[in-house]
Amino acid sequence: MTRVVIAGASGFIGGYLVARYRAAGLEVRTIGRGASADASWHDPAAIARVVDGCDVLVNLAGRSVNCRYTPGNRAEIIRSRVETTAALRAAVESAAVPPRVWFNSSTATIYRHAEDRPMTERDGELGSGFSVDVAKAWESEFFEGALPSTRRIALRIAIVLGDGSVMRPLARLARFGLGGPQLDGRWPATRARRAAGTHHEFRARGGRQRFSWVHIDDVAGIIDFLVARPDLDGVVNVSAPNPSDNRTLMRIVRRLLGMPFGVPAWRWMLEPGSAVIRTETELVLKSRWVVPERLLDAGYEFAYPDLEPALRSILKPGSVRAEPVGAPITGE
């Protein structure tokens, strides 16, 4: 039986994968902070035992970026990614039977704010600022050193759509009549925020910031697809092939929920609102235009290539798929 190890299994994606693989009859072990995990991050020996002999290792660990970028939170966001990745690499290096493939989460936010053209693995331009620095440090730690028996793939994941995660607050806003586009504008920045790279610069107008996304079913399908493709490694964009924009996203959400109108949210509203709910406006105002060139070239067929059917599968009552998309992990 194929054995899968999932680190960071308590999150939205991790929980989905654990349930999916166990339903398929696979042996699943977890690494995390909770008492239910098979190994704790504070126990290197237990991590080594869990990793040794597994076929597939998937690391999704990392503190949520949905918070205010205070010095303490910034440090924890980086630490929770870099240190957990380093701990897993130590376990892989010491394993008598190392995993055949190791997937490490990364983020499509690593690319620059893009309104002019899509960012691919081949010719995408990396951005600047705190979020990009986090992604660079994460990937640098992941690809550090030689692991000759283990193929490594960094998953540059776009915003994941599913029954949870970002969809719940978006649907809530729309139901309260606040489901209009999020509109950028000028906003003053302190010297400290500029130095920390946490101030979002005004660029996209009229809610036209690009929205790159991927359905949760395709996240799982892509991992299965890559497990079966030993010729693929390195960085892979995990995003749907047809990105949208913020204005279109919110219009589709309203239509599917039967809301005839939605009040737009201008930046002068978003900034104080985000401070109250302890998050950052960059999460909705940065233009992310990412295309999965390597997956398309390799022949992966998306279950949800277009935004409206993806949202319909989530927002329509009773329409969320109960069965997984694609075959479960089998082997190379």
pLDDT tens string 23-40 = 999 999 999 987 889 999
Tally DSSP H helices, then E strands, for the chain. Answer: 12, 14
Other CB atoms within a 10 A radius of the CB of residue 224 amount to 22
The sign of the dihedral angle between the CA atoms of 266, 268, 269, 273 is positive
- What pLDDT shows up at residue 33? 86
Q: Which residues contact 205 (CB under 8 A, 6 or more apart)?
A: 183, 184
How many CA within 13 A on the CB side of residue 276? 5
Q: What is the DSSP letter of 234?
A: E
Q: Which ranges of 24-68 would DSSP assign to H, the alpha helix?
A: 44-51
Question: What's the rounded Cα separation, in Å, for the pair 92 and 291?
Answer: 31
Structural domains for the chain:
3-314 (3.40.50.720)
Tokens of 280: 């950052």
Question: What's the rounded Cα separation, in Å, for the pair 113 and 283?
Answer: 12
The rounded mean pLDDT for the chain is 92
Adjacent-strand bridge partners of 6: 30, 58
pLDDT tens string 248-301 = 999 999 999 999 999 999 999 999 989 888 889 999 999 999 999 999 999 999
- What pLDDT shows up at residue 2? 85
Strand-pair category, 182-183 with 265-266: parallel
Question: What's the rounded Cα separation, in Å, for the pair 128 and 120?
Answer: 17
- What pLDDT shows up at residue 332? 37
Q: What is the DSSP letter of 111?
A: B
Question: What's the rounded Cα separation, in Å, for the pair 21 and 330?
Answer: 11
- What pLDDT shows up at residue 169? 87
Question: What's the rounded Cα separation, in Å, for the pair 183 and 165?
Answer: 22
- What pLDDT shows up at residue 168? 85
Strand-pair category, 27-32 with 3-7: parallel
Tokens of 315: 């927002």
Q: What pTM was estimated for this model as a whole?
A: 0.93
Q: With a cut of 50, which residues of the chain have pLDDT below it?
A: 1, 318-332
